[in-house]
């Protein structure tokens, strides 16, 4: 079951145009996103300097704002190409969804083992 050459060329051309438009959209999104991330970094830097934040923290915190914005842009670009990005968003959010009061929390196990360092209940082997 072979497609005629003309239909094959038309199919490849339509797919090429579709992917070409996606690439152009992705590049435009990257450029605009980078500009917005830079503006966010500048705004964060000005706000931190006005709040008289420690000068060593200003570039660090404004850099965090910049790279978080870039990460959001990259996830949006991946979404343009049809790549499922829900797992990329869920992985960094997963530790924040745990309740600090659960029994399986590693912090509660660690805190309880340090609270009574010489009792038999707090030995590392019983964890």
Over the chain (127 residues), what is each successive 10-residue block's mean pLDDT? Answer: 76 86 92 96 95 92 95 90 80 64 50 45 45
Instruction: State residue 81's pLDDT score.
Output: 85
- Closest among 120, 127, 121 to 103, alpha carbons compared: 127
Q: What is the pLDDT of residue 102?
A: 55
Query: What pLDDT is stored for residue 88 in this prediction?
Result: 73
Q: Residue 99 has what pLDDT?
A: 58
How many Å apart are CA 63 and CA 121, to the nearest integer?
A: 45
pLDDT the model gives residue 85: 79
Q: How far apart are CA 126 and CA 46, in angstroms?
A: 52
Two structure tokens written together for 25: 């959209």
């Amino acid at each position: 079951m072979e497609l005629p050459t003309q239909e094959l060329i038309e199919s490849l051309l339509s797919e090429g145009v579709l992917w070409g438009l996606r690439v152009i959209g992705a590049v435009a999104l990257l450029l605009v996103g980078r500009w917005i991330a830079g503006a966010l970094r500048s705004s964060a830097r000005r706000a931190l300097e006005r709040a008289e934040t420690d000068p060593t923290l200003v570039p660090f915190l404004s850099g965090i704002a910049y790279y978080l914005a870039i990460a959001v842009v990259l996830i949006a670009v991946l979404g343009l190409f049809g790549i499922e990005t829900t797992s990329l968003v869920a992985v960094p959010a997963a530790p924040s969804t745990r309740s600090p009061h659960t029994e399986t929390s590693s912090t509660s196990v660690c805190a309880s083992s340090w609270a009574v360092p010489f009792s038999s209940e707090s030995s590392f082997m019983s964890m």
